[in-house]
């Protein structure tokens, strides 16, 4: 298709991925493209990607979305991080926040000074030096011109898709209702020509965006792009989502509670709570998982639990011929660090940056695929870290993940931190040093050594510097309103009062 003008873009599938793609393309390239989205009301979406990371704010800003309007439409709350419970040991709790830990220098990170202070018998908890972490612990929040918190959202993914659909249709995106019966390809090149609907209609296009979920109707069933299975590192393969009535104020963090064969999420929205159980069915049956979840949730259930089966991994090519896969069609890394919506967003942005206006070329596809591979591999390693660093030996599942081999890239990071407290963010990686640091220490990875720059300061001076920083953060948190109170004021109404 090199040399063929690409103007007609067809998005196969709606949901969060489809409408994020349609909204972004129509917002930024709409005058150059003819965009059609095909979806069926009879095909449900997974709809459980309800927790985000701060890149979601950037994406919304790029779309020109008013935050208050967005939060009202999606019943969103604010998120400052994730509370991990029972991961390294039973009874452990730590927060992976979105904040910066302390003040680092060009020579070494702040945590090296903190480690030196701790060795001298003072310094307290590392979390005392992170504004977002302490605000999350205190259930405090504010945003605005004078607020500096780094945050993300908890949102209703179905409502988010509906919100973006409204934006997209106003921007000229054409929606076609119906199921796809088959995919028509060029007999010589194998490029996709059209989607053939059950009605018999043909939806023709120059570029196709596959947002058909796990089945990958275009990228896999049609183009046979292949799939790399990462179950050897991420063995969970099942999830049971469940929505419940809110029974208390919304907290500004996601809860990730480890259980005997995986973990449970709890995500507070304005009008309800999203819950779910992630597990490996080699160690827990579907019936056991459902019963366990029903016994753990707070509040009345609003739906019947259902089992979602998945295989962690990534598509070997997310751009193949004239098809680009986004969302679940491109791969899936379990939702532990809330990266699903981010992966959709970054895929859409890269597609716009590398858009094949004059035809799909192997070079463009290869560049896109390399960038996407780097992105998802970094996320994979970060999530595997949580499992590998466990000290739990109370169940077969935890013994399995504790003892499993890990990718060489992650093994190197673990040894680097264990030997000298060195953490880094490689070029193109999503998670920053502060994220690696919080999870490594939270999972009880204790460094044997650290940079000795802290010894350049007399102990009393180091103690005062840490005390001042801790005190400033504590006073700033005290000035913040309660998270629930801020939401009530910010969106202009109170939703879902406790029964």
Cβ pair 45, 161 in contact under 8 A: yes
9 beta partners: 35, 207
CA distance 48 to 495: 20
CA distance 13 to 211: 5
Tokens of 217: 């109707």
| Residue 207: per-residue pLDDT | 98
| Residue 499: per-residue pLDDT | 33
What residue segments make up the domains of the chain, in order of their start? 8-50+156-231+311-378, 99-140+380-478, 238-309
| Residue 498: per-residue pLDDT | 34
pLDDT in tens, 326-348: 999 999 999 999 999 999 999 99
| Residue 158: per-residue pLDDT | 92
Query: What's the helix, strand, coil split of the chain in %, to 5?
Result: 40, 20, 40
Which of 442, 387, 445, 391 has the alpha carbon at shortest distance from 413? 445
CA distance 60 to 145: 18
**Catalytic annotation, pick one of 7, 79, 224, 317:** 79
Which of 412, 440, 136, 124 has the alpha carbon at shortest distance from 113? 124
What's the CATH number of domain 8-50+156-231+311-378, 3.50.50.60, 3.30.930.10, 3.40.50.720, 3.30.1330.10?
3.50.50.60
**For the chain, which residues score pLDDT lower than 70?**
1-3, 44-49, 493-499
Model-level pTM? 0.94
CA distance 11 to 137: 41
| Residue 2: per-residue pLDDT | 56
Q: Is 337 helix (H, G, I), strand (E, B) or coil?
A: helix
CA distance 198 to 69: 37
Cα–Cα distances (Å) from 277 to 154, 222, 364, 443, 493, in that order, read 17, 32, 39, 21, 31
pLDDT in tens, 261-274: 999 999 999 999 99
Q: What is the 3 state secondary structure string of the chain?
A: CCCCCCCEEEEECCHHHHHHHHHHHHHHHHHHCEEEEEECCCCCCCCCCCECCCHHHHHHHHCCCCHHHHHHHHCCEEECEEEEECCCCCCCEEEEECCCCCCCCCCCCHHHHHHHHHHCCCCCCHHHHCHHHHHHHCCECCCCCCCCCCCEEECCHHHHHHHHHHHHHHCCCEEEECCEEEEEECCCCCCEEEEEECCCCEEECCEEEECCHHHCCCCCCCCCCCEEECCCCCCCCEEEEEEECCCCCCCCCEEEEEECCEEEEEEECCCCEEEEEEECCCCCCHHHHHHHHHHHCCCCECCCCCCEECCCEEECCCEECCEEECHHHCEECCHHHCCHHHHHHHHHHHHHHCCCCCCCCHHHHHHHHHHHHHHHHHHHHHHHHHHHCCCCCCCHHHHHHHHCCCCHHHHHHHHHHHHHCCCCCCCCCCCCHHHHHHHHHHCCCCCCCCCHHHHHCCHHHHHHHHHHHHHHHHHHHHCCCEHHHHHHHHHCCCCCCCC
Q: Is 116 helix (H, G, I), strand (E, B) or coil?
A: helix
- 79 as an active site residue: the answer is yes
């Amino acid at each position: 298709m090199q040399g063929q003008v690409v103007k007609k873009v067809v998005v196969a599938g709606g949901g969060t991925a489809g409408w994020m793609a349609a909204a972004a393309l129509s917002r930024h390239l709409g005058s150059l493209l003819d965009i059609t989205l095909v979806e069926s009301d009879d095909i449900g979406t997974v709809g459980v990607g309800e927790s985000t990371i701060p890149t979601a704010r950037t994406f919304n800003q790029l779309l020109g979305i008013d935050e208050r309007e967005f939060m009202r439409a999606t019943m969103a709350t604010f998120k400052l991080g994730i509370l991990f419970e029972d991961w390294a040991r039973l009874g452990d709790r730590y927060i992976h926040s979105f904040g910066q830990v302390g003040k680092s220098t060009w020579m070494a990170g702040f945590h090296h000074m903190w480690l030196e202070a701790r060795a001298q018998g003072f310094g307290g908890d590392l979390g005392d030096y992170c504004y977002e972490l302490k605000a999350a612990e205190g259930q405090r929040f504010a945003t605005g011109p004078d607020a500096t918190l780094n945050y993300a959202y908890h949102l209703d993914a179905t409502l988010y898709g509906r919100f973006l659909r409204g934006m997209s249709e106003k921007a000229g995106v054409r929606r076609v209702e119906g199921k796809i019966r088959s995919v028509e390809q060029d007999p010589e090149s194998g490029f996709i020509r059209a989607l053939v609907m059950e009605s018999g209609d043909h939806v023709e296009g120059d570029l196709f965006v596959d947002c058909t979920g796990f089945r990958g109707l275009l990228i896999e069933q049609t183009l046979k792009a292949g799939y790399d299975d990462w179950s050897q590192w991420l063995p969970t393969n099942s999830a049971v989502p469940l929505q419940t009535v809110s029974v208390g104020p919304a907290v500004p963090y996601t809860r990730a509670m480890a259980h005997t064969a995986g973990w449970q999420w709890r995500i507070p929205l304005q009008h309800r709570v999203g819950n779910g159980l992630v597990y490996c069915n080699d160690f827990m049956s579907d019936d056991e998982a459902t019963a366990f979840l029903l016994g753990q949730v707070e509040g009345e259930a609003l739906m019947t639990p259902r089992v979602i089966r998945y295989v962690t991994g990534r598509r070997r090519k997310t751009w193949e011929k004239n098809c680009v896969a986004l969302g679940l069609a491109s791969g899936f890394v379990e939702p532990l660090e809330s990266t699903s919506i981010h992966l959709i967003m970054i895929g859409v942005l890269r597609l716009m940056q590398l858009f094949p206006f004059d035809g799909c070329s192997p070079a463009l596809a290869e560049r896109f695929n390399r960038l996407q591979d780097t992105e998802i591999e970094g996320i994979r390693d970060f999530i595997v870290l949580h499992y590998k660093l466990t000290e739990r030996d109370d169940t077969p599942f935890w013994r399995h993940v504790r003892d499993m081999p890990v990718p060489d890239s992650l093994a190197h990071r673990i040894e680097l931190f264990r030997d000298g407290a060195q953490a880094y963010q490689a070029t193109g990686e999503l998670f920053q040093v502060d994220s690696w640091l919080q999870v490594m220490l939270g999972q009880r990875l204790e460094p044997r050594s650290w940079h000795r720059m802290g010894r350049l300061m007399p102990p009393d001076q180091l103690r005062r510097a840490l005390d001042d920083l801790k005190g400033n953060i504590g006073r700033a948190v005290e000035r913040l309103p309660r998270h629930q109170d801020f939401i009530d004021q910010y969106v202009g109404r109170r939703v879902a009062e406790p029964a």
